[in-house]
Amino acid sequence: MGWLTKTSLTVAFLFLPEIVSPMVKDSFCGLRAIANQASNFGNRGNNGVTGADGSNGRNSESITIFADGSPLNLNLAGQNGTTGQSGTNGTRALCESQPNNPSQNLQGARGGDGGDGGNGGDGGNGGNLTIYATNREDLRQISVNASSGQGGDGGDGGRGGDGCQCSQSFWTVESCTGTPGTPSYSCGTQEFRCTNGNTGQNGRSGRAGRTGNQGSLTLINSSTPLPPDRLSASVTMAELKDRGFSLSKNIWENRTGAGNLFASGSIIADQYLELVERVENSVVMIWNAPQPFEDFGDRTVTLNLQDDRTVNINFPDDIWLQTNIVPKNQVTEVFVFNAIRASESTRLASEGISGLGLGVQMEIVDQAQISDIMNTSFKIRYSTSSSSRNINPRQRSDYTLRYEGEIPAQFVNYQNNRFIVNIGELDIDPRHLQADSSIQIELEITRTFGENQSTQTITERRVLGPFR
């Protein structure tokens, strides 16, 4: 066995497994497990610091000028963003002397990672330019620089630090097991190795900043400041009558070639906005109604300027007006020749039922006294009851429908806000119009006033007879 002390037991086991006792095998496996273990030496390096981001460039201010042909030089350039700072390098591992021939593998400490670079700052936007000019040629006297600011470069990433290096890559150590002089005693050598520490990872470079936007042009063909849009408003009727109210809308068009309008070398966004028209429409109210205006002056009217340049006028729901709206140039005249409150349209009341046969009538009175200016129509449901005559008509529940339909105008007499409805002249079976007939009349009354309409139902029950 003497030759085995100078040769690796591993080789012997690989080629002569049949001559090795199980006890020797177990001892060698223990040596090999030790050989596979590794111990670090040295301390890992510190990571680098991430670089600070660059600052964003300042946006240029937007300005408004009136062009009169005088030479002018305008600097509306956006500011450049600044460069991001570089990340710092990772530090070298703190290395000590490699241990001398230990019974285990060695691994050198790793170097620190480099810090990431900071992002570059974004470029600022060029300033927007609004010009009032009645002569486009005046713009050629203006030199403008509304260029965008450039984004700053990203900072560089830091380098990774070096790891600890091995001074001796391989070595062997002799090892024995068992008791000398016994069959279980055996010796052998084990080979170990040292691995250099890894270099730290390099940091990432920062992102470059974004370029800003070029300034844009708004061109207005006017020598006076442009009022803003006023597309809608809520105003009182008193204000419309006393002063009127104006709505307006500015019509714009997107065009290209802004740089060609200015002095040579000017820098500005190619697309620009130009005012092509200003639409105005004033609304006034002319009160020609017989009703007192003071009863309606505090009510609010909503005005909306439409795409077709007309004005949509919405009056409150609780008042009804008969109007004539006349557009004239840039003025909309609202003539009012009748006015009522909506609640007045349903102030009708029954004055009772009278007569027999063809003479059965029902009288309706208009308590609001406005029927001269309204259209009124009637529908009827005529029913009778067969209950005993001694039962109060209002307490009966067995009414049977005998006639239903609209009442033609010739069967209604009107005078001084009173309506006499000649029910007996309708196509009702005469048997249901005789004395002692218990009847129920439902009148559905529809009233219209201009574009407005209301419905009211009046119900009457009684027993027909000359002495009722």
- Do the Cβ atoms of 444 and 379 come closer than 8 Å? yes
pLDDT of residue 178: 85
Phi, psi at 254, each rounded to 5°: -80, 130
Each residue's pLDDT, cut to its tens digit, for the chain (468 residues) gives 333 333 333 333 333 333 333 333 443 344 444 445 678 899 999 999 999 999 999 999 999 999 999 999 999 999 999 999 999 999 999 998 899 989 899 999 999 999 999 999 999 999 999 999 999 999 999 999 999 999 999 999 999 999 999 999 999 998 888 888 888 888 889 999 999 999 999 999 999 999 999 999 999 999 889 999 999 999 999 999 999 999 999 999 999 999 999 999 999 999 999 999 999 999 999 999 999 999 999 999 999 999 899 999 999 999 999 999 999 889 999 999 999 999 999 999 999 999 999 999 999 999 999 999 999 999 999 999 886 555 566 666 788 999 999 999 999 999 999 999 999 999 999 999 999 889 999 999 999 998 899 999 999 998 887 644
- Do the Cβ atoms of 421 and 411 come closer than 8 Å? yes
DSSP code string of 8-73: -HHHHHHH-GGGS-HHHHHHHHHHHHHHH-EEEESBPPPPPPPPPPPPPPPPPPPEEEE--S--EE
Q: Which CATH architecture has domain 347-463?
A: Sandwich (2.60)
**How do 300-305 and 271-287 pair as beta strands?**
unpaired
Residue with tokens 């008509």: 393
User: Domain locations in the chain?
Assistant: 2-36+166-195, 227-342, 347-463
CA–CA distance, 6 with 190 (Å, rounded to integer): 10
Phi, psi at 386, each rounded to 5°: -100, 10
Query: What is the model's pTM?
Result: 0.64
CA–CA distance, 71 with 141 (Å, rounded to integer): 5
- Do the Cβ atoms of 114 and 87 come closer than 8 Å? yes
Report the Cα 442 to chain-centroid distance in Å. 53
- Nearest partner of 48 among 204, 208, 207, 153, judged by Cα: 204
CA–CA distance, 313 with 453 (Å, rounded to integer): 18
Report the Cα 124 to chain-centroid distance in Å. 27
